[in-house]
Amino acid sequence: MKKIFASVYPFGKYEPACLKVLKTTGYELIQSPHKRKLSPLELVDYGRDADVLIAGTENLEPYIHSNSNLKFISRVGIGLDSVPLKLCREKGIRVSYTPDAVTMAVAEMTVGLILILLRKLQLADMEIRSGAWTRYVGKRIENINIGIVGFGRIGKALTRLLSSFRPKSILVYDIKDKTPEINQYQKQYSINLRALNLHDLYRESDIISLHVPLYHKTRDMIGIEELKMMKKDICLINTARGGIIRESDLLQYLKGNQEASAAIDVFTKEPYFGDLKELSNIFLSQHMGSCSIDCRINMELQAAEEAVRFILGQKLHSEVPDEEYEYQD
Residue 241 among the catalytic residues? yes
Cα distances (Å, whole numbers) of residue 232 to 143, 176, 212, 236, 257: 17, 29, 24, 11, 7
Spatial contact of 95 and 75, defined as CB atoms under 8 Å apart: yes
Contact 72, 52 (CB under 8 A): yes
What is the structure's pLDDT at 256?
98
User: Does residue 172 contact residue 155 with C-beta atoms inside 8 Å?
Assistant: yes
Report the alpha-carbon distance of residue 33 to residue 222 in Å, rounded. Answer: 37
Q: Could you tell me the maximum CA-CA distance found in the chain, to the nearest angstrom? A: 64
> What local confidence, expressed as pLDDT, does residue 151 receive?
98
pLDDT tens digits, one per residue of 209-259: 999 999 999 999 999 999 999 999 999 999 999 999 999 999 999 999 999
The upper half-sphere exposure of residue 52, i.e. CA atoms within 13 Å in the direction of its Cβ, equals 27
pLDDT at 329: 74
With a cut of 50, which residues of the chain have pLDDT below it?
Answer: none
**Is the CB of residue 279 less than 8 Å from the CB of residue 75?**
no
* Contact assessment for residue 195 and residue 172, using Cβ atoms and an 8 Å cutoff: yes
Q: Out of 75, 211, 287, 309, which one is annotated catalytic?
A: 287
pLDDT at residue 268, as a whole number: 96
Q: Can you give the chain as a three-state secondary structure string?
A: CCEEEECCCCCCCCCCHHHHHHHCCCCEEEECCCCCCCCHHHHHHHCCCCCEEEECCCCCHHHHHHCCCCCEEEECCCCCCCCCHHHHHHCCCEEECCCCCCHHHHHHHHHHHHHHHHCCHHHHHHHHHHCCCCCCCCCCHHHCEEEEECCCHHHHHHHHHHHCCCCCEEEEECCCCCHHHHHHHHHHHCCCEEECCHHHHHHHCCEEEECCCCCCCCCCCECHHHHHHCCCCCEEEECCCCCCECHHHHHHHHHHCCCCEEEECCCCCCCCCCHHHHCCCEEECCCCCCCCHHHHHHHHHHHHHHHHHHHHCCCCCCECCHHHHHHCC
| Cβ-contact 109, 288 below 8 angstroms | yes
Domains of the chain, earliest start first? 3-101+291-327 (3.40.50.720), 103-284 (3.40.50.720)
Specify the amino acid at residue 38.
L
Tens-place pLDDT, residues 34-50:
999 999 999 999 999 99
Note whether 319 and 98 are within 8 A (CB): no
Catalytic residue among 58, 75, 226, 241: 241
Query: Per the omega criterion (within 30 degrees of 0), is the bond before 10 cis?
Result: yes
- In contact, 246 and 223? CB cutoff 8 Å: yes
Going by C-alpha positions, the residue among 214, 137, 206 that lies closest to residue 171 is 206
Q: Identify whether 270 is a catalytic site residue.
A: yes
Look up residue 117 and give its amino acid.
L
Instruction: State yes or no: cis peptide before 40, omega within 30 of 0.
Output: no
pLDDT number for residue 145: 99
Pick the catalytic residue: 140, 270, 317, 326?
A: 270
